[in-house]
Structure formats: structure tokens, C-alpha cells
Chain A
Amino acid sequence: MNSLVVFTVIDIVLLIAGLAIYLFIVGGQLTRVATGLEECNELVQKIKDNASSIEGNLEHINRTGRVIAGALPLLYGMAEGIVVGATYEAEKVPARGPALPASGRRRSRLHDGVGYLPDGPGKSAHAPLADQAESA
């Protein structure tokens, strides 16, 4: 009789303890799952916000790209027309002799600084090319 009572009590205690332990374990796991799902929800909202501007901007880029692609053959045609109609003639370079080094006495500028202009052989001592340029 007593053993039956003890066995019954043990049975009930085992049932309650088992349920409590498993409830604790499953509760912890579900809490972590809920936290993870909340973070997933935030990430999905961020992705949605990021992706909201993709469609409009891509349509804009595609529309503008189509306009550019359609206009480029026109520009090619105009450029080819310019090349065909161009009548460019290169300017002729006049022939001249070789450059000679400056020879003779160089005119001293010290006299000019003091206002003295001597009349001598070095009065017009310039480089030959400079003389030609001045005479021309």
C-alpha cells in the first residue's frame, strides 16, 4: 500500500520535473529564435529600403542610355561629313638658311646704362638672324 503511494508520488514528480526541464530548455531556445527573427526582420527592412531606389534609377539610366545610343550614329555621320568636306591646306614654311652663331663683338649695354652711345664698329653688332628679322 505504501509502496504504491510512493510510486505514485514519484511518477507525478517525474512528470512535473520533466515538463519543467523541457519547458525551460525549449523556452530558452525559442527566446533565441525570436531574437534572431527580430534581427532578420530589421535586416529585411534595411534591404527593402536599399532596394527601393534601384528600380527608378535603373529605369532612368536605361532611358538616358537609349537616348545616347540613338544619338551617337548621328554624331558619327556629322563627323564623317566634316572630314569629307574639309579642305585643309598646310601652311608653307618659308625656306631659310642655317642658323649661324653670333660672331663679332657683342654690344656692351654698360654704355647704354650711362647714356653713352659710341660710334664704332660694334655699334650694330647683332646676331645675323636678328639682323635679318629686323630687316624683314
Chain B
Amino acid sequence: MVFALTENQETLWQIANWAGLAVVVAVAALLTILVVLVRTIEHRVAGIKATLTEAEANTSDAALLNTTAAGVDLVLAEGLEHHLFLGRVLGKVRS
């Protein structure tokens, strides 16, 4: 099987080949940029994960606020006891 091409056709084929090579190089460059950007995203996701880990450790003791609220209620109850005691004593002192 013999392909018979004119000189003009061969020239166009060569141009198409060089254009294809240029496309390959361009695609490689663009994909390199894509890889670099995705690597940057990966590093920043790692940074976000570290920050979230610290935030989770900081908020893990927030459940103690419930205990603190109960303690403040006990302080209020004790203050009411003091109020009643002082009221009785004050009444006796004045009488």
C-alpha cells in the first residue's frame, strides 16, 4: 500500500504535527500549573485541619460550663440562706 501525497499535503501534515507537539507542550504546562495549584490546596487543607484540631481541643471543655452553671446556682441558694439568716438576726437585734 503506497500513499501518494503531494508536496503541499506533506507540508500541511508537518505543520499539523508541529502544531500537535505545541499543543502537547501547552497541555503539559497547563497541567503543571494545575498540579501546583492542587498541591497548594492540599497544604492549605492540612493547615485548616490543624487549626480545626486546635479549635476542637479548645472547645472540648465547654461541657464544664454546665457544671459551672450548677455551681453558680448553689452559690445563689447559699446566698438566699444567708439572706434568711441575716433577716432573722437583724429582727432580733432591732427588737
Contacts and interface: CB of A to CB of B under 8 A. Distances in A.
Q: Do A and B come from one complex?
A: yes
Interface in B10-69: 10, 13-14, 16-17, 20-21, 23-24, 27-28, 31-32, 34-35, 38-39, 41-42, 45-46, 48-49, 52-53, 55-56, 59-60, 62-63, 65-66, 68-69
A93 interface: no
A64 B43 CA distance: 46
Nearest to B61: A50
The residue among B5, B10, B24, B66 with the most chain A CB atoms within 10 A of its own CB is B24
B81 to A, nearest CB: 11
Contacts of A22: 28, 31-32, 34-35
Contact of A29 (B20, B23, B38): B38
Interface residues of A, number: 47
A53 B68 CA distance: 12
B31 A18 contact: yes
B59 A51 contact: yes
- Please classify how large the interface on chain B is, using the bins under 10, 10 to 19, 20 to 34, 35 or more: 35 or more
Given A29-B35, A40-B48, A50-B59, A68 B93 contact: no
B46 A19 contact: no
B27 A18 contact: yes
A95 interface: no
Closest 10 CB pairs of A and B: A57-B65, A50-B59, A22-B31, A85-B93, A43-B52, A78-B86, A36-B45, A11-B20, A29-B38, A60-B69
